[in-house]
Amino acid sequence: MSLKIKKGDKVQVLAGKDKGKTGKVLRVLSLKSRVVVEGLNIVKKHFRRRSEQETGGIKEVPAAIAISNIALFCSGCGKGAKVGINVLENKEKIRICKKCQQQI
């Protein structure tokens, strides 16, 4: 399956408890069609102490969000955008915003 969202992209959440917020993609889980976004969908997770240096306890970590609930953030429009792909003369593919035709 080909996804239009990649690691390092700036995205906006379309649905859920963090609706309207933006963040950077940390991980893409392509088989599950989910992404982990920095600072969004924060959950509390219990960690076991693994060594003398590490501390255990409850830590807040970002959880995965369904890819259908996020959209690439277009700086030209200032909001989440639908993504199109243009093929250049040298057969290079670029992602563009379908509304303002600006490269993302």
pTM confidence score = 0.80
HEC per residue, 44-94:
EEEECCCCCCCCCEEEEEECEEEHHHEEEEECCCCEEECEEEEECCCCCEE
pLDDT at 42: 94
Task: Determine, yes or no, domain membership for 61.
Answer: yes
Average pLDDT over residues 8-28: 93
Q: Is the pLDDT of residue 36 over 60?
A: yes
pLDDT-based confidence at 2, cuts 50/70/90?
A: low
Range of the domain at 39: 10-77
Q: Is the pLDDT of residue 1 over 70?
A: no
Looking at the structure of the chain, the number of domains it has is 1
Q: What is the CATH number of the domain that holds 72?
A: 2.30.30.30
Task: Determine, yes or no, domain membership for 82.
Answer: no
Average pLDDT over residues 53-58: 90
